[in-house]
Chains A and B, each alone.
Chain A
Amino acid sequence: MSAPLIWIGIPLIFSLMLFIIRGNRLLTLIIGGGISAFLALLALTFKIESVFPLGPISLEISSTFTILGRNFVITDSERLIVALLYSMCAFWIFGSRISGTNSFFVPNVLVIITLFVAALSVQPFLYAALIIEIAVLISIPIFFQRGQPVKQGIIRYLVFQTLAVPFILFAGWGFEVAPTSVDSQAAYYQAGVLLAIGLGLWLAIFPFHTWVPLLARDGHPYSAGFIFSMIPTTIFIFFLDFFNTFSWLREETLLLTICQILGIVMIVLGGLFAAFQRELTRLVGYAVMVEIGFSLLAISLNQVIGWQSYILIMIPRIIGIAICTLAISIWKNKELNIDFDSFHGVYYQSTFAVLGFLVGWFTFSGLPLLPGFPTKLPILIGLSQLTITPLIFVSIGLFGLFVAGFRFLAIIFSTRHNENEIESESLLQKIYFSIGIVLLIIMGIFPSVVLNPFLEILSAFANLK
């Protein structure tokens, strides 16, 4: 028995089964969520490359699975990454119960997460680009909404993600041949440029950011939220592999400067667009841009504090996006117009969803006592050590997010012009939002207790500690 067989093979078989029985929504959800939670627990408890006595027999989980001459390797130090991905998978699958996603959501989400695990374990790791592209193709059906044509956001997402693959693969090839090249410095530089374009397309980094707000508007909000949270998480971990493997990347000041500039541009653009945006779906898209910007800033620090923030910022981001998009999905399902003007007095009809959205939103904004604050603060401190100028721009971006949040706050308590009648919330919705809100608040108040264990993820990247 090998670890890739357990964490890639088994869920792949289950997702195929779930695809066949996807008409039975509740059963699919229970099996899909159950298997994800089980695999997450297994990853937390089982040690890879150790012998387990199982009654009269003993079981050893090896780390490697070989197929067509290439290896899939999940080492013991990568168990926490696997656990994180599957626990988030369970979180998203269970949340889909009240989000009104289509029947493709559960089986496709399970297979997407499985492919992400495969992408992070394939050797050589550059083949991950191909596996991530397969996951992107599988993700397309989850955006479809009944009776609606295929919209621009979905198409642009597909095009940008597909065009990233050639850049990443050629960058990988460039890194391989550069040491033997006549002008290795130039070869490394060209490979670096290709890598930057590929990652820019993948992560929606400026100027390739346009698909994010469009997908938020055109796809199903909860499905778009899943993509916004899980694709960057996987790609940022994949990116860590690059930094861990190629030491010259960490020493290349030009690359780090570009990361910093792009990070600041993403934060400023996301924040400013959010401040003037009236549509809630697009608002989440801009928040995602700000979050990606912070991850780039964390990389640009190239210090332990930066790598730690890079990991820590991912966890509240996933939950924040989930809770915000879940709230929007519920409002959209109730045929509420997703525009600020339609939200007068919504607090009194949809209290838990509104509170969930606000807690999620102010997590992105970095409000103290919410997890966005302790995870973003080290990045800001790291930035301020060199010069204060980037900090001013970052503050402008964050201020934009705060403005959007306060504009929403001002509207939801006002009862005038409210022509929308929406049903009150179900018990299930209240439970879901309560869990999300409590999780974020606990993370915000006790970050060292709840978030710091995730720093173990860095143990998989020996050169970054």
Chain B
Amino acid sequence: MNSLIDILPVLLAGLSSLILFIKKKWRWNILAMAAIYVSVFWMVLQVWPTGLAVIKLIAGWMAGAILGSAVKEDSELLVEDNKVEQRFKFVIVMIIWIFSFSIMQSLKIKLPIPDSLLWGGVLLIIMGILQIGMSTRPVRIIFGLLTAFSGFEVLYAGVEQSVLVAGFLVIITLGIALVGVLFIQQEEGEIV
């Protein structure tokens, strides 16, 4: 990594995915999702033209907006955070981060992409998988899927610049968000 500008999106990705993982408050989750996609956009900008990279940002924000609009003020999804659980999750995240940084060098040999993309992508994938593995609520699993998939998008952007692939990835991101909305509606008994 060459400069602070390259490190900042990785830090943003790490921080926002950490917030998404340990906080259960709905508004915090949506904000963290938005921040993740800002970091994705920032990282992808290093290898893609701005016009194409901005698609990631718009798609991610749209996904967040879709999920955010599905939750009502009186929803059962609005749960309070548990301090003990948060601390436990924080420790796990630290362990996983150390592990992911330890495998970074061997991955670097196999994937010829800029360091910041590699770090950011792997970080998001690991955080996403951690979220999927440690959640039972469908909506939180959707957040995990979106996080892991955004990490993959960062890595894949380094090796592939096809417009059609970018389009398909946008459809998948929005599709996962829409499935999340369906899960919320089904949980609340709104689907007939």
Contacts and interface: CB of A to CB of B under 8 A. Distances in A.
B141 A159 contact: yes
B48 interface: no
Contacts of A159: 132, 141, 145
B160 A149 contact: no
Please report whether the interface of chain B is mostly helix, strand, loop or mixed according to DSSP: helix
Interface stretch (B5-13, B83-91, B95-103, B172-180): B172-180
Contact of B159 (A69, A155, A173): A173
A208 B99 CA distance: 24
A134 interface: yes
B78 to A, nearest CB: 17
A68 interface: yes
Interface string B148-192: 110010011001101111011101100110110011001101011
A133 B165 CA distance: 12
Interface centre among A69, A134, A137, A144 (most CB of B within 10 A): A137
B146 to A, nearest CB: 10
B114 interface: no
A127 B168 contact: yes
Contacts of A163: 129, 148
B148 to A, nearest CB: 7
B68 interface: no
A162 B168 contact: no
Interface size class of B (residues with CB under 8 A): 20 to 34
A264 interface: no
Given A67-B164, A127-B168, A130-B172, A137 B179 contact: yes
B65 to A, nearest CB: 18
A67 B165 CA distance: 12
Interface of A: 67-70, 103, 127, 130-131, 133-134, 137-138, 140-141, 144, 146-150, 155, 158-159, 162-163, 165-166, 169-170, 173, 190
A170 B156 contact: yes
A190 B163 contact: no
Contact of B156 (A137, A155, A169): A169
Interface of B: 110, 125, 129, 132, 138, 141, 145, 148-149, 152, 155-156, 159-160, 162-165, 167-169, 171-172, 175-176, 178-179, 182-183, 186-187, 189, 191-192
A166 B162 contact: no
23 contacts: A69-B163, A69-B164, A130-B168, A130-B169, A130-B172, A133-B175, A134-B168, A137-B172, A137-B178, A140-B182, A141-B182, A144-B182, A147-B189, A150-B186, A158-B141, A159-B132, A159-B145, A165-B149, A165-B172, A166-B149, A166-B152, A169-B152, A190-B110
Nearest to B191: A144
A150 B182 CA distance: 9
Nearest to B167: A68
